[in-house]
Amino acid sequence: MSRLVRNIIAGICLLTVSLGLQAQVLVRASIDRDKIVVGDSLIVTLDVRAPLGQEITWFAIDSIPHFEFIGKGKIDTADNADGKKWVQQVVLTSYDSGSWQIPMLPIRIGDKTYYSDSVAVEVGYANADLTQDYKDIKEIQEVPNTDTNYIPWVIGGVTLLAIILLLFIFLRKKKKTVPVAAPVARLTPYDEALKALADLKKEDLPNKGEVKTYYTRLNDILRAFVHRKLQIATAEKTNEELIRELKKQRMHEEYYQELSNALRVADFVKFARYQPTAEDNDKNHTIIESAIKTLNNIA
């Protein structure tokens, strides 16, 4: 066999092996739904498959235009005869209505970068119930005038009784002194918040099936601390309004983002849109505690 023929056969074999390896690489992104209501969540599933022995570097994107990260699940792996499989679920939400794209996410396999599919999502508002009849604004109704001639007599009688009571008190020969209880020292906002967090952890509410109560208490502890320490009225604010208020503080960006995600998870748990894991519960407790310590130091 001539050298030319051997070179041609060797080249065909190398090309076949190379194409075979590339054919085993798959990077795919899918979503559980393509339409959501503003503030609702959706799950993006990333499915990556590659030959065994290939080094993989996962995407490092932490922000997507018009979307916000709520959480990332752990990366599950599985080996089979065809290669290795990686699967991860990412929970996103959006507060901007419109048609948006989840961009292609980069995954580096070996010395080459692959991209997932770009996925379209429609974000809108809940539809109003147009089947209900419109109700007219009621006109002002006049209240009939009633006879109030007896009111001066009532006022006079009450005044007379009050005068008699005052005379009785002042004419008493001896007054009993009532011991004044010593004022109870109130904890500082910081100490009060840390004690409340420690008590909440001891109650172990998530394992008792009271996850909503756990996140409500966690949220209230932070609100009470912010109100007492930073003098910010938190009672009438939503979590999104509270997040914008805390943006004005001098928190490190990483701590601020973690706190924002923890408050949004609390909202999703409250409205039964997200079921956190035990790891999520401990993580969000730690985030709230760290945020309180940080705000206490910079305030």
pLDDT tens profile 41-53:
889 898 888 887 7
- Secondary structure element (H or E) that encloses residue 89, with its range: strand 83-93
pLDDT at 213: 92
Question: Residue 278 contacts by C-beta under 8 Å, 6 or more apart in sequence?
Answer: 206, 207
161: helix, coil or strand?
A: helix
pLDDT at 17: 43
- Report which of residues 33 and 13 the model is more confident about: 33
What is the rounded CA–CA span in Å between residue 228 and residue 234?
10
What is the pTM (predicted TM-score) of this model?
0.43
Q: Is the pLDDT score of 232 beyond 60?
A: yes
Question: Residue 120 contacts by C-beta under 8 Å, 6 or more apart in sequence?
Answer: 34, 99, 100, 101, 102
**Residue (of 213, 247, 267, 279) closest to 41 by Cα position:** 267
Instruction: Give the confidence band of 289 by pLDDT, cuts at 50, 70, 90.
Output: very high
- Report which of residues 226 and 2 the model is more confident about: 226
Phi, psi of 212 (to 5 degrees): -60, -45
Of 51-60, 107-116, 168-177, 193-202, highest mean pLDDT: 193-202
pLDDT tens profile 234-270:
888 888 888 888 888 888 888 889 988 888 888 888 8
- And the tokens for 67? 């979307």
What is the rounded CA–CA span in Å between residue 266 and residue 268?
6
Question: Residue 296 contacts by C-beta under 8 Å, 6 or more apart in sequence?
Answer: 189, 190, 225, 229
pLDDT tens profile 64-107:
888 888 888 888 888 876 788 889 888 888 888 889 988 888 88
Domains of the chain: 23-124 (2.60.120.570), 189-298 (no CATH)
